[in-house]
Structure 1
């Protein structure tokens, strides 16, 4: 019998674009009486995360509180999800404290996946030290050969790339997006590989390399002609009427 929540099961239940459906699927999985208590509790932390994405902050907080006091991996997950709730509410300084606690607790437990998750959230909540947190997260990955955990490199480098692009450093952003694409090719899902190629093209446009960007976006359009982000970039690159914010 599984003694803790395994990531493949959570991947199957969780869809960040569908927090309502995710909460329902997770609740059903957590209600099974044959599951170990720790697994049911871990699932409830993810249900709280889904509540947070719906703006149901009080319910999410109460659900996490109902799981305390906690130790070990459950403590890591509770603190991590409290940080996510605080960050979503715009309480970034408090969120950073939670994520730092989650990072240290995950390291004590030897859980690379959750340590990287905490560090990647620190890079989001604490952008002034975004590079530091990204590198710390990447360093955690040296301890594993698990492809599912190594997939974190896609998100880490993608997030760092967008931060740099927002700061106006298109060339540095392009380097990060290239690294995200390399990771996506090796460890990512088809959607991640598509999104990583799109991000490279987007950075190419900002770097003044419009012809290369247009060529790549056209190739992406052959695969997914109705993709709104590809359509928007093609409009931006060809002078057509814009569709969505480029």
Structure 2
């Protein structure tokens, strides 16, 4: 890990990109090629998170030109970020070989943190729930054995849980989500804890334990109202719970709020268009 990794604010990739660019100007003449290449990969990642995929690839082209003079860490980070840009732009066939190569180099070089990152990305980008689950389990095993990769445990729990949901193993998924919730409590990160609670509530709804789910979502809703930060995903789950409880008019209002928040969500539009269409349909009272 480099010092600039602490500068990340994943909620604001535009501001993060600018911080990285300023850092690049400050150290361009003093740092080694590998450091500069790794920093450029994070500029590309910030661009990808903003949907600036062409710009991200152009930044990574600069990194690629520097790889012959760079170390294994820079090579792995290049592969990871090129893969992430492809994955985010729905080009999984191009992404998967890059993640595989990053995994192989990471394991060989004992760069456990990045090896687990690569395996976790394969657990996202592979085409079937079974393959995604297998890669997530491999990543989890590696992370559990390496202190360097321990930070990945929360994300891996989350990925494995959703893979279990996809395969219909909802009781197993709930158990894992509840374990992940305890892990997030121990970390003390409010944003991650909020998401973990939301995940538990969603699986409770899928298990038809709707009243329990609704209580959690109502608590999350109250928190967003205190901060004046609406959350379209909380509105969506509120609506789904109310719909299952046959409170259709209340559900419609929350679907409408959800749609207003999520209709410009690029990831949702690209990866789950049927979901946003459902939210819009029920928001219109259909």
Partner residue of 2:37? Answer: 41
Asked if the contact 1:170–1:203 (Cα under 8 Å) also holds between the matched residues in 2, the reply is yes
User: Secondary structure, in 3 states, of the residue corresponding to 2:90?
Assistant: coil
Asked if the contact 1:210–1:237 (Cα under 8 Å) also holds between the matched residues in 2, the reply is yes
Once the two structures are superposed, residues 90-122 of structure 1 have per-residue CA deviations (whole angstroms, 9 ceiling, x without a partner) of 221231111111011111222221111111100
Rg (Cα) greater in structure: 2
- 1:28 and 2:32 correspond: no
Structure 2, unaligned runs of 5 or more: 259-275, 280-286
Once the two structures are superposed, residues 134-160 of structure 1 have per-residue CA deviations (whole angstroms, 9 ceiling, x without a partner) of 1111111123346xx423122112123
Partner residue of 2:143? Answer: 141
Partner residue of 1:214? Answer: 214
CA offset at residue 188 of structure 1? 5.5
- The 5-angstrom pairing of residues 178-217 of structure 1 reads 178-187=178-187, 189-217=189-217
- The 5-angstrom pairing of residues 88-237 of structure 1 reads 88-128=88-128, 129-145=131-147, 149-187=149-187, 189-225=189-225, 226-237=230-241
Asked if the contact 1:201–1:213 (Cα under 8 Å) also holds between the matched residues in 2, the reply is yes
- 1:51 and 2:47 correspond: yes
Once the two structures are superposed, residues 164-185 of structure 1 have per-residue CA deviations (whole angstroms, 9 ceiling, x without a partner) of 4345543343233223213212
Asked if the contact 1:48–1:64 (Cα under 8 Å) also holds between the matched residues in 2, the reply is no
Q: Looking at secondary structure, tell me which structure has more helix per residue.
A: 2
Q: For residues 28 and 223 of structure 1, do their structure 2 counterparts lie closer, same or farther at Cα, with a shift above 3 Å needed?
A: same
Residues in 2 aligned to 1:89 and 1:189: alpha-carbon distance in whole angstroms? 29
Equivalent residue pairs, number: 238
Q: Which moved more, 1:136-145 or 1:55-64?
A: 55-64
Structure 1, unaligned runs of 5 or more: none
Once the two structures are superposed, residues 197-224 of structure 1 have per-residue CA deviations (whole angstroms, 9 ceiling, x without a partner) of 1110011001100111122222323433
Residues in 2 aligned to 1:214 and 1:152: alpha-carbon distance in whole angstroms? 29
Partner residue of 1:15? Answer: 9
Residues in 1 aligned to 2:125 and 2:15: alpha-carbon distance in whole angstroms? 26
Task: Give the TM-score of the pair, scaled to structure 1.
Answer: 0.85
User: Secondary structure, in 3 states, of the residue corresponding to 1:15?
Assistant: coil
CA offset at residue 235 of structure 1? 3.0
